[in-house]
Structure formats: C-alpha cells, structure tokens
Amino acid sequence: MSDFSHNIGSLARLLMESARDLAPIVVVIVFFQVVVIRQPFPNLSDILIGTALVVIGLTLFVRGLEMGLFPLGESMAQAFARKGSVMWMLLFSFALGFGTTVAEPALIAVAKEAAQTVAEAGHILADEQSLKNYAFGLRMTVAVSVGFAIMVGVIRIVKGWPIQGLIMAGYLGVVVLTFFAPPEIIGIAYDSGGVTTSTITVPLVTALGVGLATSIRGRNPMTDGFGLIALASLTPMMFVMVYGIVY
Amino acid sequence: MNLIHHILATGYATLFDVVPIAAILIFFQVVVLKKIPPNPKRIIAGFAYVLVGLTVFLVGLEMALFPVGETMARQLTDPEFIGSSAALGIVDWRDYMWVYIFAAAIGFATTAAEPSLIAVALKAQQVSGGAIQAWGLRLAVALGVAIGVSLGAYRIVSGTPLHWYIIAGYVVVLIQTIWASKFIVALAYDSGGVTTSTVTVPVVTALGLGLASTIPGRSPLLDGFGLIAFASLFPIMSVLAYAKLAEWMQVWRQKREYKRDEHEEEGKIL
C-alpha cells in the first residue's frame, strides 16, 4: 500500500516537472495569440487535449530514458571497453550512427526537398527517377557521414584527443567546401547537420560516450564523454556539400 | 475515436524509428558481446515507456502546437499584418519586427521543451555532480536558439547570404573556445546538435518556408532553408558564455567573501 502511494507520489512529481518544462511554450503561444494577433484560439478543446497529451508523453519519455536508454547505452559501452576489441566497438559505433539516421523521417523529407531544389536549378533532370536517385544518394551520404562521425568520436574518446581540434578542423572543412559547392545546396547542407540527431539517438549516443569515458582509465566523462553529437551534426554538412560537388 | 486512430498511426511510425536501433542493439548485445545487460526487463520496460511517451508527445504536439505555430507564422508574415510597404512589394526589414520577436519566442519555447535536450541536460547534471544544473543549461541553450532563429529570420527578410553568418559564428565559437574552461567545451558543442529535434525542426522549418514564400523576391527553396543551421550554431555560443559567466560569478563571490573575512580579521585585531 505504501509502495503504491509512493508510486503515485513520484508520478505526480514527474508530471509536475514535465509541466514546468513545458510552461515556456504555453506562455509564448498565449501571449502571441492574445496580445499580438488578438484572435480567439481555433479549436480550443484540441489545444487543451493536445497540451495534456504532451505533458503525459514527456513524463513517460523521461521515465523511460532513466529506465532503459541510459542504462543500456552505458552498460554496452562498459561491456565493449571490457571486451577490449576496438574493431567491434568501431563497427558498433558506425552501425549505430548509420542505422539511426538512414530511416530518420526528417532526413527523408529534407532529401526530397533538396532533390527538387537541385532539379529546379537545372543540375539534374526533373523526372521522377532522377529525383528519386538524387534523394536516395543524399540520404545514404548523410547516414554514412553520421556513422563516420560516431566512429571518429569513439576513437577520440579512446585516444583522449581534445574535442576542440576535431571541431575546428570540421569548421574549416565546412568553410572551404562552401566556396566550391553549388549555391543551391548550401542551405540544405547547413540544415542537414541539425536534422540528423533524433530524439532516440541522442540519449543513447550520449550514454555511450559517457559510459565509455567512465570505463576507460584516464578519461573524464565530462570532457571526453560528451562531443559525439557535436561531430554527428558537423560531418553531414561537409558530406552533403561534397555530394553536391560530385553529383 | 479519431484521436485513438491518430495515436495508433503515430505509434506505428515511431515504432519504425525504433526498430532499426533495437535491431542494432540486440545484434551487438547477443552476437558480439554475448552478454545480457543487467535488469533486462527494466530496460525493455524503459524502451516501451520511451516509445509510448514519444508517441503521445508527438500526437499532442500535432494537436496543440504545430497548427498554432504554423497559423501564427502565416499571420505574422501576411502583408496585411506587416503594413503597406510589403503589400506594394517593397521589403523593409524594420517592418518585420514582430516576426523577429515571434521567431525568438518560438525558438526559446520549442527548445525548452525539446526531449533530446532534456535527456542531455539530465546526463550533464548527473555527470558533473550537480555543478551544471539541468534547468540552467536548458535555459542557456534555449536563449541561444532564440537569438539564432531571430537572426535567421532577419537573414531571410533581408536576403543576405547564409554562409557569411555561419562563418562569422564559427569565428566567434573559435574565440570563445580558446577562452573557455575545458570542462564545458564538449558539452557546449553537443548542445548545438541536440536542440534541433522533434519539436523545434517542424515549427522552425514552417516559419522559414512561410517567411520565404510570403516575402516578395524570396524563394522558399533557396531562402527557406538555413534557420536550423542558426538554431544549431548559436546555442554553442550561449552555453560557452553561460559557463564563463558562472565562472566569473564564482570568482567574484569568492573575492567578496575573502574581503569580508579580511575585514572581520581587521575588526578583531582592532
């Protein structure tokens, strides 16, 4: 009985936390609707039900992170570190980066739009087959680039390289490529870095990095454990521009 | 009934996102590591929570936030709302003040609610032993996105080239990095990537495309992109700045305490 009331109590606390996390969004929308646009809300009941769903969903998500994604990512990182096989670990990193990105709906949408843009600029034919080929190639490019990034990031954690060097080299790469890439592709390339990191990938990859840095002696989870996401959002920018130059 | 149908359809789509990840994890766990992680039941339950939670969250967003965000982006960029000059086809960036404010507000609000940012902030608080507070980090990131998206909206209105803004941003990040404490750098870089996920991308993309399609002389395909790039660059700067500020505050507080102690010592001697 006390266990039950304890659970209800912690659930209520979690719900409160989610509600607080979402408060800014509600304030912004109400402010603009009431003060700036000065029109009543369309479908007020939908908005209220939707907000309640968002709060419940976020609560479950955060609970699931702490129960499933975080412990799994960390225990896998530790198991790989104990196994001592760098080969398998790199293969795993690549698979995780590639596999989580290739089916990402945001990426599929962006690739389609990119194909259209490039066709309008006259770089490829505007028929359905060439559009499809272009979009598919782009998607594969981004997925490979994310796999590559996670792999390089894991090597970095193992070797203890500072993250600044890699990121600055990446920035330099982006800047140089910008001057050679066709102008139509630049906006898409710059945005592609942001769309690749999905909500399920981020916690897993973060837990992996932190777990790895915790289990390798001489690494600090704070300075060495983070940084995988940063690399995964930088490499797609370069790879997409290269794709634009080559294609 | 419609709602249940919607939840099931979204759940199905989310499941498809999770299946490849789960397949990779299970393959490596079983074939390569040949070991079952501790508490397998709890982990599976956790995955189920994530799946159901994300589904309910997305359905709620589609009902509450996305239509409102899109309507507002459209209404705010409407030539009638902007005023006479836009209706005549002349673009003056000052007419779009409300758009910049809205862009900042929506960038801030969507980022504060972003689940992947919540995940990383939780982890950072845990790893740093509380030196970094999850709430403070999230506010810093959200502020960065607000500035970034607002500036990105200005870029679309003014029609200036994207890459100069981004390159200038890189230079600022470089200078800040040289200056920053090593403790925060990796986390700051990561916070750029995590801000643009489930919540922020659709709303911000809608704003960009809405702006580019209503402003005379802008093409949605050429000028509509780029807001996400701003939204993932500026949080790096704001988190580095936040860390620097926290450092200064601490030094200042210590100095003050030291002075007070000195005064007290002097008082005793006198």
Tens digit of each residue's pLDDT (9 = 90 or more) over A11-22: 788 888 888 878
CB B155: neighbour CB atoms within 10 A? 21
Provide the 10 A C-beta neighbour count for residue A105. Answer: 13
- Rounded Cα gap, residues B99 and B94, in angstroms: 10
Q: Least CA distance to A44: which residue of chain B? A: B64
Structure tokens at B109: 């609000």
Cα separation, B115 vs A68, whole angstroms = 15
Residue A43 has pLDDT above 80, yes or no: no
Of B25, B173, B186, the CB nearest to A223: B186
Nearest chain A alpha carbon to B41: A68
Which pLDDT band, with edges at 50, 70 and 90, does A161 fall under?
very high
- Measured between beta carbons, the chain B residues lying within 8 angstroms of A46 are 63-64, 67
Chain A residues with CB under 8 Å of B185 CB are 162-164, 223
Report CB contact under 8 Å: A100, B20: yes
Which region among A46-50, A154-158, B173-177, B232-236 has the lowest average model confidence (pLDDT)?
A: A46-50
Write phi, then psi, for B212 (nearest 5 degrees).
-65, -30
How far is the CA of B96 from the CAs of A68, A104, A163, B91, B196, in angstroms? 46, 34, 39, 9, 24
The H or E element containing residue A164 is helix A163-178
Question: In chain B, what residues touch A184 (CB-CB under 8 Å)?
Answer: 221-222
Note whether A200 contacts B: Cβ–Cβ < 8 A: yes
Q: What is the rounded end-to-end Cα distance, in angstroms, of chain B?
A: 82
State what percent of residues in chain A have pLDDT above 90. 34
Q: Would you call A21 and B167 a contact, using CB atoms and an 8 Å cutoff?
A: no
Average pLDDT, whole number, for chain A? 85
Averaged over B33-60, what is the pLDDT? 87
Residue B104: pLDDT band by 50, 70, 90 thresholds? very high
Strand, helix or coil for residue B161: coil
Q: What is the pLDDT of residue A169?
A: 94
User: Quick check: B116 and B136 in contact, CB under 8 A?
Assistant: no
A200-244 per-position pLDDT tens digit: 888 889 999 999 999 888 899 899 999 999 999 899 999 999 998
Average pLDDT over residues B150-168: 90
Q: Residues of A with CB below 8 A from B44's CB?
A: 68
Tens-digit pLDDT profile for residues B220-269: 767 777 888 899 899 999 999 999 888 888 888 888 888 777 776 666 65
Q: ipTM of this complex > 0.90?
A: no
CA gap B47, B36 in Å, rounded: 16
